[in-house]
Amino acid sequence: MISGGGTGGHIYPALALIDALKAHDKHAEVLYVGTHRGLESRIVPERGIDFKTIKIQGFKRSLSPQNFKTVWLFLKSVVTARKYIKEFKPDVVVGTGGYVSGAVVFAASQMHIPTVIHEQNSVVGVTNKFLSHFVDKIAISFESARSQFPEKKVVMTGNPRAQQVANIQKTAALQALGLKDDVPTVLIFGGSRGAARINEATAAAIPELNQRDYQTLFVTGQVHYNKIMNGLAQTALAPNVKIEPYIKNMPAILPEIAAILGRAGATSIAEITALGIPSILVPSPYVTNDHQTKNAQSLVDAGAAELVKEADLNATSLLHAVDSLMLDETGRQKMAANAKKLGMPDAADQLLQVLETAINR
């Protein structure tokens, strides 16, 4: 049984783990428990995975009557989780983050079912911090997370998402978008929904990017696309610049990308390091405990990325950062090699071994 929800950072590692499990044992049975409102309610059933839901919500960080409802929903969700566990009879229960995994994994631990949690970020989330006292094993993606957990339970596995993208081969993905496959290309994007500050800086830099010898693939996010294109209505796009609202299969295009400018979420970091892609990271300042900055810093310290604070991002700083990387092939190669050293291309298999250890405890 696997539970993780709310954001792609919790869902995609779970799906990568399921893929690895199925590859090892095609008869393995999996039940995914999420919420009816999170991204998992759409993504998981689309993959043909059995899916059940629990109603739960997070705590407000300020004093709020809503927190009384949160406690009540948590207790109720634990009861529901126990029901699912009794019906499914899992050998092991895995939590990849999000409030829903808190109820499911806690219920399993109280029923003496083997339990494992996976932490994708360098700063431990509140749910995993809570669960760390009850679970059998804790898998981490960043060494900096180790000290935030009970030491004896921790195993470094990396992010299972890395294994999904590590062996992706080059295709004609850039040509399909109208770009050349033999010209260095920088990918600029702010995640599946886009990032306003990154979009604004990139849009303002388009006249200059039009004149560069390298190519720019700018992915705005669906909700921002019309605004960006309306703002550029009087600006002609050169053949070396392509603007897209969304790329459905982003991993398929990554092997053709020379460098990335984007956020520093756990999934992005896993993909960047698995493939060894040089990056300019602009951490979101709106995430809990500023964990994206700490994620990015781990790459910067290894010489695998550059960091630009969102507050410092504008057309000028964006162009300077991108030019510095795209016009320095030797520097890109060195950064790529450093990024590759951080990658864990067998992360999903490593996590499977942790599950086996928990089951045989």
Quote the CA–CA distance of 260 and 254 in Å, as a whole number: 9
Spacing of C-alpha 219 from chain mean position? 17
Residue 238 DSSP code? P
121 is in an annotated binding site: yes
Quote the CA–CA distance of 337 and 330 in Å, as a whole number: 11
- Closest listed residue to residue 307, CA positions, set 262, 341, 277, 353: 262
Give the pair of three-digit tokens for residue 162: 């890395």
Contact criterion met (CB below 8 Å) for 96 and 14: yes
Contact criterion met (CB below 8 Å) for 311 and 293: no
272 is in an annotated binding site: no
Q: Is 73 exposed, middle or buried (0-12, 13-18, 19+ CB in 10 A)?
A: middle
Contact criterion met (CB below 8 Å) for 283 and 293: yes
Quote the CA–CA distance of 197 and 300 in Å, as a whole number: 21
Spacing of C-alpha 251 from chain mean position? 12
167 is in an annotated binding site: no
E-state strands within 115-262: 115-119, 137-140, 154-156, 185-189, 215-219, 241-244, 259-262
157 is in an annotated binding site: no
Contact criterion met (CB below 8 Å) for 262 and 250: no
7 is in an annotated binding site: yes
- Closest listed residue to residue 213, CA positions, set 233, 241, 189: 241
Q: What is the dihedral of CA 148, 151, 157, 158, to 10 degrees?
A: 20
- CB under 8 Å to 36, separation ≥6 — which residues? 53, 55
8 is in an annotated binding site: yes
192 is in an annotated binding site: yes
Pick out the residues of the known binding site.
7-9, 121, 192, 247, 292
Pick out the residues of the known binding site for UDP-N-acetyl-alpha-D-glucosamine.
7-9, 121, 192, 247, 292
